A and B are shown apart, each in its own frame.
Chain A
Amino acid sequence: MREISAKKIIETVKDLCIAANTELPEDVLAALNTALKNEESPLGREILRQIIRNAAIAREEKLPLCQDTGLAVVFVELGEEVRLAGGSLAEAINEGVSRGYREGFFRKSVVADPLLRENTGDNTPAIIHTTVVPGDKFKIQLMCKGGGAENRSVIRMFKPTSTKEEIEKFILGTIEEAGPGACPPLIVGVGLGGNFETAPLLAKQALLRPLGKRHSAPDTAKWEKELLAKANRLGIGPMGLGGTTTALAVQIERRPCHISSLPAAVNIECHAHRCKEIIL
């Protein structure tokens, strides 16, 4: 058995929170620079330039890219041969989030109850998804997910006989409905299949894939490309003020499902895509 200390996990999660909120990933910057070259609207181009300039200031001064430093969503791949020492996984992750948000001077955006709405004061609890995998690997992927874009996400249970065109209409309709308020240019995660709880999870996992890296199945990769082109013909543009860059990427994950079902979920992500990962 390989031993990993809770202390190591706390430090790692803390560092990931700080890095995610202050350093826009290179793949997102590359997509924004490509968008700047292609955007037809002068105002759209200026907004893209501001987004790129903001990323430089945030990185340089270690300032949060966005005032909404998000809910910490943590995906863990825990090797079967890994033993945690000195504390539980969830406690260690939450402690790391708490320290990261305090030491990074980030906004605490979590309330303890959806109706009572009292702030927990340290941005915990994180949302934690753990998968046990063979081997002695320990991988953490962190996404700091803002509320504005998350609010525009949708799950719908289609009929098994629903057509690809119907699904496509749903995806593009969700992007159009998300519109200006979700901070376009958007990154769109799509989850197809599984059941009622897995389709949205797949949609979120689709967002973890580096931008510009197409799905490994050629038909899905082709569809991603087509959907991106169609999304960018909606006219919504940067911040919804009109333009040809409504999305930076559409990324799809597909899974087996019940003969009666065709669950489809769209997880909307803003351009401030704060995503970092590490393998211990």
Chain B
Amino acid sequence: MKSEKRNSKFEVNSNSKIKKIQPPLTDKDVAGLKAGDEVLISGKIYAARDAAHRAFGGKPPFDLKGQILFYASPTPAKPGAVIGSLGPTTSSRMDAFTPDLLKLGLKAMIGKGERSKEVVAAMKKHKAVYLVVPGGVAALLSKYIKKASVIAYPELGPEAVLELEVLDFPAIVAIDAKGNDLFAIGKQRYADQNNK
């Protein structure tokens, strides 16, 4: 894993480093990621959301070991384009399915919003991280996607599983494999305790 200090896309804090990651991820790769870190992902990741998670039935039709799942389904590509707009959907809807997938070796998930206690416990047990990207910036995010193809469940239409080839796709580590949670840390830092 390479680290670099410049070109910060998120400036989480002055000490944070941008970490470049490429699946398949190892336990060691995952252990090097802390809540608040910025990552740039290159290589193959998979897009799957609600209907695909139900269709998996705990046994996805591709090897999840070391892989990254992106909770997303794009708009249709315009003629000549690689993909349409693509951004994260709400991760918590996938919570019930996630522990089984982590058991199969899934190492990272990309989405938006919080995760359940059960998911965080399974992430700690199986060494995995949860990454977030901003919702509603899907035109911008589509620029980091170099190839896209349907690899499972074409009958699910917009919810089919996609294999995406990404280059320097930017994300933030929201929950690390130790259970540190940027949602809780960030909220506590900026909440006005006299509010209520």
B9 near A107 (CB under 8 angstroms)? no
Binds A, one of B23-31, B97-105, B119-127, B185-193: B185-193
Q: Given contacts A67-B87, A68-B89, A107-B73, is CB(A242)–CB(B190) below 8 Å?
A: yes
Binds B, one of A155-163, A176-184, A217-225: A176-184
What mask results when residues 170 to 196 of chain B are scored 1 for a CB within 8 Å of chain A, else 0? 001010000000110111111110010
Within 8-54 of B, Cβ neighbours of A (below 8 Å) are at 9-13, 51
A183 near B135 (CB under 8 angstroms)? yes
B189 near A240 (CB under 8 angstroms)? no
B189 near A242 (CB under 8 angstroms)? yes
What mask results when residues 43 to 72 of chain A are scored 1 for a CB within 8 Å of chain B, else 0? 110110011011001100101111111000
B132 contact set on A, CB distance < 8 A: 180, 239, 241
A110 to chain B, nearest CB (A): 10
B101 to chain A, nearest CB (A): 19
Binds B, one of A2-10, A89-97, A125-133, A227-235: A227-235
* CB nearest neighbor in A for B83: A67
A270 near B90 (CB under 8 angstroms)? no
Within 8 Å by CB of A43, from B10, B51, B73, B85, lies: B10
A32 to chain B, nearest CB (A): 11
A238 within 8 A of B: yes
CA distance A121 to B143 in the complex (A): 26
CA distance A94 to B188 in the complex (A): 46
Q: Given contacts A43-B10, A57-B139, A230-B195, is CB(A239)–CB(B84) below 8 Å?
A: no
Within 8 Å by CB of B191, from A47, A119, A233, lies: A233
Q: Given contacts A54-B137, A237-B187, A243-B190, is CB(A42)–CB(B11) below 8 Å?
A: yes
A272 near B183 (CB under 8 angstroms)? no
A227 to chain B, nearest CB (A): 12
Q: Given contacts A66-B85, A270-B135, is CB(A241)–CB(B114) below 8 Å?
A: no
B189 contact set on A, CB distance < 8 A: 41, 235, 242
B140 near A50 (CB under 8 angstroms)? yes
A67 near B134 (CB under 8 angstroms)? no
B51 near A117 (CB under 8 angstroms)? yes
Within 8 Å by CB of B10, from A46, A58, A106, A181, lies: A46
A267 within 8 A of B: no
CA distance A105 to B75 in the complex (A): 6
A180 near B113 (CB under 8 angstroms)? yes
B142 near A63 (CB under 8 angstroms)? yes
B112 within 8 A of A: yes
CA distance A230 to B194 in the complex (A): 10
Q: Given contacts A66-B135, A66-B138, A148-B112, is CB(A42)–CB(B12) below 8 Å?
A: yes
B157 within 8 A of A: yes
B158 near A119 (CB under 8 angstroms)? yes
* CB nearest neighbor in B for A69: B75
What mask results when residues 62 to 79 of chain B are scored 1 for a CB within 8 Å of chain A, else 0? 000000000011111110
A235 near B192 (CB under 8 angstroms)? yes
A244 contact set on B, CB distance < 8 A: 190
Q: Which residues of B contact A (CB under 8 A)?
A: 9-13, 51, 72-78, 84-87, 89-92, 112-114, 132, 134-140, 142-143, 157-158, 172, 174, 182-183, 185-192, 195
